[in-house]
Structures are given as structure tokens and as C-alpha cells.
Chains A and B, each alone.
Chain A
Amino acid sequence: MARVRRPGARWWVGAVGLVGLCLATGLQPAFSQQSVSVRATLVKGALPADDPTAAVWATAAVSEFPMSPQVHWPVRITEVTAKSVKVRGLHDGTTVAILVEYSDPSEDPDDAAALEFMVGDTKAHFAHGQPMAQVEGGPVNIWYWKNKDGKGVDMGAKGFGTLKPHAHQDVKAKGVYQGGAWKVVFSRPFHTEHVDEDTQFKPGEFASIAFAIWDGKKTDTGQPKEKGSEKAISSWWYFRADAPPDYSPYMYALLAVALALGFELVLVRRLKKGS
């Protein structure tokens, strides 16, 4: 019978090291915050759907996204005013409010901002749902606000030149200009009856979101500096409304601990019997 060497005092140090290795590699928790998404948190009180300056906005997580001149479509622009937008989100369980904040040296009647979403599960190109050669794309839902109109417009598009307001108007918007910056809040119920035209929000699930900004300052020609497809844009980022608190993961974790303990007890007992 082979002689079995007794373990020394060194090897268990290695075992603990191996556990540490597992911790450092495969067992990383999957809840780190990313900077590529807008997070709408649940508010207990009234939703500031028509108040871009409400104090409760300070409690919402802020995300910042860089903006670029629109270059995809031939009627393009090379220099835009808005270099980035700060975005916050809040919801009350039925309605979502999204606050867009950006610098603009002057308040002008043609200043405007917009949010864009995909509709349903079909992918849509971020530039107004442009047709794609090898992928059957879907439409986009655009929430538009212009200073001189003072309201939100619910719109749809499937390619440049197809943008038009929906027959139904579910979006509200309000803008406030303060200290060289616009704060514009858009709001809409999570769900609408027009699932083929409107994006529908499911708390806890990610949706795609993009931004557009127009500096409406008049140039020497009398035209706004930015208009139509001459605007500041972003490509797709992510948006998610927080789901209601869910404690089931804690229960699953406790159950897993109990099962692991039971496994250990049975294993050690069997080993002792075996020896």
C-alpha cells in the first residue's frame, strides 16, 4: 500500500490563495454601475414631470454623454454648440420623466432638444431609423421639444424625410433656461396604446436612447445656426427605469448557503466514515 505523506503547514496557505484567485476572477459581482446608460430611479412623492428645476432631480443619478455634429446624412454640420448632455431619470411606477441638461450661451426661440427610442424589439438605426441594407430595421419614436412651442411633440420616423408627428400625442415637455444652460424635462406614461409607434418601457429592462440638440441662435442669414439634420447628436446609449425592490435574490442566496452547508456536512461525515 502506498504511503500517504502527511500535509505540511504550507499548502493550506496556497489553498486560501486559490480561493482568493477565484474571487478575483470568476466570482466578481455583476452589479457594477456603468456610465453608458441613463437610470430612472423610483420616486415616492410626486414626479417632477413639468418642473426641470425641482429639488428631487438632485437625487437622481446623472449620466453625461458626448455629442457630435450630425454627419451621417448629407445635409450635415461640422460644428455644434452642445458638446455634451447631462441626463437624469425618475419614475413613479407609471410615468417616466427624463431631464436633459446642456450648455447654450443664448436663449433662442428655435432652441430645441429631442430624445429618440427604438420601437419594440426591432433594431432601428440611430439616425432617424435609416433603412439598413442587410437588416430589416424598425421605426424610431422621437420626443421633441422646441422653446418657442413650449410643449413636447410625440413623433415617429423610419428614415430621413419621413419624420412626422403622431396622430396621438402622449409626450409632455418643458424647458427652463438658467445660467447659460437649458434644462428640459420630457415625460410620458410607461405604456401607451400605440405599441407600433411608441416605445414601451418595462421597469428593469434596458431600452436604447439617443439625444439631439439644436442651437437656434440666428446667424447673419437670419436662419437658425442649427436646424433640421444640422444638429448635435449622439448614437445609441441605454436607458432603464428601476424595477420595484425585489428581495428574492436574498432568499435564493440564503437557500444556496443552506444547501452548501448541507453538502459540506454530508461530505465531511462520509469522509470520516470512510477513514
Chain B
Amino acid sequence: MGGVLVRPIILTVLIYLFLKFIVPTLPHSAPLPSSLIFLYLMLTTAGIVIFATLSGASKDAFFGPIFRFLTGESGGALSSARYLVLALFPLLVGWQTYGSTAFSDAPPAENRTIHPAPPGEYTGLSNPVPKTPDNIMYGKGLYASRCSPCHGNFDGKGFAAPGFTPPPANFKDPTTIAMLQESFLFWRIKKGGVGLPVEGMPWKSAMPRWELELSDEDIWKVIMGEYDGAGQKPRTWDESE
């Protein structure tokens, strides 16, 4: 009898379970914020309502049970449920109103862009230093003395890392240097945290401005050592096309 409503509800629940538990397990994915899940569920509900009101008959079939439930015509065990819903709805509205007006202990949300666009002069630069074993080894040596205190064994877990927020990048993570071009790393190493644009929140980054201490050639060598040590390859124009 309630099949008209049971199907949409099952569909909504399945979509929720998919977003909450399946999506985070997909490759390169992450848990979705509850606000985004809520938005998707609202879109799903809107779609169901649009589908159910395409014709007069389907509209009656969809809303009929709801109307009868709300007016108490259903009778039986549903009467208790009706009172429960009628009592819960105002309480939920009150709770939500309190939550949105009461002082929050949560600090301001920070939408920091982790890999912002570099200035134009750095875009597309190619590494001019030959990728020889000696150069890579030299770059690794510089990495060990200059970078590893924070970036550790290419995993972002150096002994100096814990006090910094945002944390030093983990180069073994496929979402860091593996998806970046060498020119991007050159810019980030040369100009450091203070070189970031506003969306990168430069005031929080501890990354040194290495142009004060390293030559451009040494920075290119560090980049080679970094990719080699992390077991990654830089993204190239060919691959991105």
C-alpha cells in the first residue's frame, strides 16, 4: 500500500549510504562534509517530488498517503506516529534555530587553496639541469640538510613538522608533487610560504624563502632529488593534454 513512498525513501537511504560510506573508499576520494551530503539528499528529494508530480494521478498517489497521515485519516498505529512527527517537527526547527544563532566554539572556516596558481613567469618552466645520477644525488643531499627537518623522509613527517599548520607536504601522497609540474615546485621552493597568493594563506606557511640561500640551479636539483626520493614523476604538459 505504501509502495509509492517506500521506494523514494529506500532510494534516499541508499544514496545517503553511498555518499557516506562508499564514496570515501573510492581512489583519490575523501569523506564528504555533512553539509554536502545534506545538499545531495535535498536534490534527490526535489527530483523525487518533481518525478511524482508529473501527472495528476502520480501526484495524488504520492501526496495522498502524506495528506492522510497528516490529517489523521490513516488511523491505527499511524495515529501515534502522526503525533510524534507533529511534535518533532517544531522541536527540530527550534533546535536548528538555536544552533545557527548561538555562539559557536568552532573557529572560522578556512578555505585554503593548497596548490594555487603560480605567477605567470613560472608557468611552464622546464628544468634546465640534466637529470644525471650525480645531480639527483646532489639534490637529495640538499633535501636531507634543508628540507627533511620538516618534510621528513619525503612523507611530511619531519621532526620539525608538528608545530606547523598547515603541515609540511607529503611528497609520497599522489595528490602533491605527482600532480604538479616541476615549474610549480620551483616557484614554491624559491619564493616560499610568503610567496603564496591570498587564497594560499601565506601568513600561515612556514616554508622558507629558499632563494635567500640556494641558487636556482640548486633548487632544480632539489626538485629532481625530491621526485626521485618520493618515487614520483612530475606532471608534464604531454600528460596534461
Contacts and interface: CB of A to CB of B under 8 A. Distances in A.
Interface of A: 2, 4-12, 14-19, 21-34, 36-37, 39, 65-69, 71-74, 76, 78, 83, 123-127, 130-135, 137, 204, 206, 232-238, 240, 243, 246, 248-250, 252-261, 264, 267-268, 271-272, 274-275
B24 interface: no
Contacts of A37: 105, 107
A83 to B, nearest CB: 8
Contact of A68 (B37, B56, B86, B164): B164
15 contacts: A2-B56, A5-B4, A19-B88, A22-B41, A29-B95, A31-B104, A31-B105, A68-B161, A71-B160, A71-B208, A252-B97, A255-B97, A261-B90, A271-B71, A272-B71
Nearest to B162: A66
B61 A25 contact: no
Nearest to B97: A256
Contacts of B77: 9
Interface stretch (B134-142, B173-181, B187-195): B187-195
Given A253-B98, A271-B71, A11 B194 contact: no
Contacts of A258: 90
Nearest to B99: A29
Interface string B85-108: 110111111111111111111111
B6 A11 contact: yes
A244 to B, nearest CB: 10
B151 to A, nearest CB: 11
Given A4-B61, A9-B78, A133 B194 contact: yes
Interface string B181-213: 000000000011111111001111111100011
Interface stretch (B62-70, B216-224, B231-239): B62-70
Interface in B140-175: 149-150, 159-165
Interface centre among B1, B4, B69, B105 (most CB of A within 10 A): B105
Nearest to B36: A25
Contacts of B88: 19
A69 B57 CA distance: 71
Contacts of A254: 94
B23 interface: no
Contacts of A18: 9, 12-13
A132 B71 contact: no
Contact of B98 (A23, A36, A252, A272): A252
Contacts of A66: 162-163
B202 A260 contact: no
B55 to A, nearest CB: 9
B120 interface: no
A267 B90 CA distance: 13
Nearest to A82: B163
Contacts of B212: 74
Nearest to B147: A71
A248 B101 contact: yes
A260 B93 contact: yes
Contacts of A130: 194
A71 to B, nearest CB: 6
B2 A264 contact: no
